[in-house]
Amino acid sequence: MFQKVVPVNKERHASKKIKEVSGFGFASNFHIAYVTMQEFARAASIFPIVFLEDKDKDEFRPVVLLGLNAGENLFVGKDGKWQASYVPAIIRRYPFALTAAGNDGQYVVCIDEESPLVSDTEGAPLFNEKGEPTQVIENVKRYLAELQQMDGFTREFCKFLQANNMFTPLNMRVREASRVKNISGCYVINEERLNNLSDEKFLEFRAKRYLPAVYSHLISLAQTERLVKLHEDAQPAAAAAEAAKAPAKKSAAKQ
């Protein structure tokens, strides 16, 4: 998604403008998207929510599955429109991001200069004629700060689950056309372990307000069937597009 991320500053970006988002083609090749625990309730009715392990950092991160295969986003149409009622916050923040500035807990706002949303002629300016940040920058700062806070809560949530041995590998088999496909490499909360928690530990989950996220995650796993259906529906269109290219390729070969 991000190609050339640099800190926003008035010298470098004095003339830059941000175009209004009219599509999500930039996310068409992403089959997963990170989500915070605060997004689970809304995301659960559309996407399967699973956890990925970052072995280098010894932590787990929640993501939504957007496709069954790498490079496949089943929720972005050919016209670039998002084909669902909810767009993960990490995608909505594009082309902006926060980057740590040193080890003192400070962050700077960055922008992807290669984004098609960044322009010299169209959109809302980042800075006014005096070189002062416009409302665009102020809104981005506020939005990214909220996401950063939610990310902190999500990391604590995952650490708590990990410390209590709640993660188990996902081994799911779905039928894809005439074959069976294994979905692996992800983790889910072990429902049996959850049900066998002591009263004291369960109350700790409740006190930390983790239960809504836990149950949203478990409910979301049924959305894997939606991915299968979307994938199957996309196959005839993909085959037709490939067939349309075939005559052109043959004609070019003859020439």
In order, the DSSP letters of 59-104 are EEEEEEE--SSTT--TTB-TTS-B-SS---HHHHTTTEEEEE-TTS
pLDDT score for 74: 95
Give the type of residue at 26.
F
Percentage of the chain beyond pLDDT 70 is 87
Residue 33 reports pLDDT greater than 70: yes
Name the pLDDT band for 231 (thresholds 50, 70, 90): confident
The residue that leads in pLDDT, 253 or 189, is: 189
The residue that leads in pLDDT, 196 or 235, is: 196
46 in Cβ contact with 223 (< 8 Å)? yes
- CA nearest 72: which of 221, 202, 183, 165? 183
**Residue 97 backbone dihedrals phi, psi, to 5 degrees:** -160, 160
User: How do residues 169-228 score in pLDDT, each as one tens digit?
Assistant: 998 776 666 666 677 789 999 999 999 999 999 999 999 999 999 999 999 999 998 998
* DSSP run (H or E) holding 47: none
Residue 248 reports pLDDT greater than 90: no
Residue 241 reports pLDDT greater than 60: no
β-pairing, 59-65 vs 17-18, is: unpaired
Residue 49 reports pLDDT greater than 60: yes
Query: How many Å apart are CA 78 and CA 112, to the nearest integer?
Result: 23
Segment 56-64 shows an average pLDDT of 95
Which pTM value belongs to this model? 0.85
DSSP-assigned letter for residue 120? S
Query: How many Å apart are CA 153 and CA 198, to the nearest integer?
Result: 24
User: What count of residues does the chain have?
Assistant: 255
Residue 130 structure tokens: 């005096």
User: How do residues 70-122 score in pLDDT, each as one tens digit?
Assistant: 899 999 999 999 999 999 999 999 999 988 876 677 889 999 998 989 999 99
47 in Cβ contact with 64 (< 8 Å)? yes
Mean pLDDT, rounded, of the chain: 88
β-pairing, 49-54 vs 32-34, is: unpaired
- CA nearest 67: which of 85, 90, 83? 83
pLDDT score for 240: 52
pLDDT score for 178: 64
Segment 229-253 shows an average pLDDT of 63
- CA nearest 9: which of 109, 144, 93? 109
pLDDT score for 242: 53
User: How do residues 165-184 score in pLDDT, each as one tens digit?
Assistant: 999 999 877 666 666 667 77
Query: How many Å apart are CA 67 and CA 53, to the nearest integer?
Result: 19
pLDDT score for 236: 63
* DSSP run (H or E) holding 199: helix 199-207
How many other CB atoms sit within 10 Å of the CB of residue 232?
Answer: 13
